[in-house]
Amino acid sequence: MFEKYARQISLPDFGESGQRRLSESALAIIGAGGVGSSALPLLAGAGVGKILIVDADTVSRDNLHRQTLYSSSQVGSSKALSAADRARSINGGIEVEACEAFLGDFEAATCLLGACDMVIDATDSFASRIFISHVCRELGIPQIAASAQGYVAQSFCFGGDFYFDSLLEDKESVSRENSGGLAIFPPAAHMAGVVAASDALRFLAVKKYEIGKFFFADLSRGAFFCKNIV
């Protein structure tokens, strides 16, 4: 049944039971840009049963250096629809849904995300991260917020009583969250997506998840650290 996943099923603590949990899981990835370009293929390939992709934007030419889900022929097309097509081409055994919307209405967002087991926030503004965090807190589901700016990649693991609004007094942490339109090193965006996908897959498959974990990498210096900030 799970022959194509044999190499991950053989991992310690994973097994067929972990793969089954993964196949029965639903995950939303909000933002199909640079971070999403790295996370989405890993989530689809690993066999997450249902993936919801939310993005209201279209592909532009200056996206292509880091948003590797897309090709130059897709400039002007919907990111959500194009990303969904790519995910289906990676794994035809999963369900992929695209939503071409900007999440701004709280009731609509809770309805959209209510069936999800986890949310990966790959958006690029402070306002969107706060909004998504409020929705996830209301629904009681874990949220991974992953982003990149310049040479820096970072990822936060939220859940329980600790969500993005818990960081509002930590100006140093939140100041790096407004990355839209700023310079960005493509591998930084992809590293943030890899870390987010890793934490999501471990949670969905083997229920290992560290609320409050903060991952930071500065690729200009080759500096990495990970700590719990709860």
- Picking from 22, 10, 42, 4, the residue whose alpha carbon sits closest to that of residue 190 is 42
Pairing of strands 143-149, 152-158: antiparallel
pTM for the model stands at: 0.94
Q: Are 7 and 47 in contact (CB under 8 A)?
A: no
C-alpha–C-alpha distance, residues 170 and 227, integer Å = 15
Output the tens digit of pLDDT for each of the chain's 230 residues: 789 999 999 999 999 999 999 999 999 999 999 999 999 999 999 999 999 999 999 999 999 999 999 999 999 999 999 999 999 999 999 999 999 999 999 999 999 999 999 999 999 888 899 999 999 999 999 999 999 999 999 999 999 999 998 887 654 555 444 555 689 999 999 999 999 999 999 999 999 999 999 999 999 999 999 999 98
Q: Which domains, and CATH codes, for the chain?
A: 3-228 (3.40.50.720)
3 state DSSP class of 189 = helix
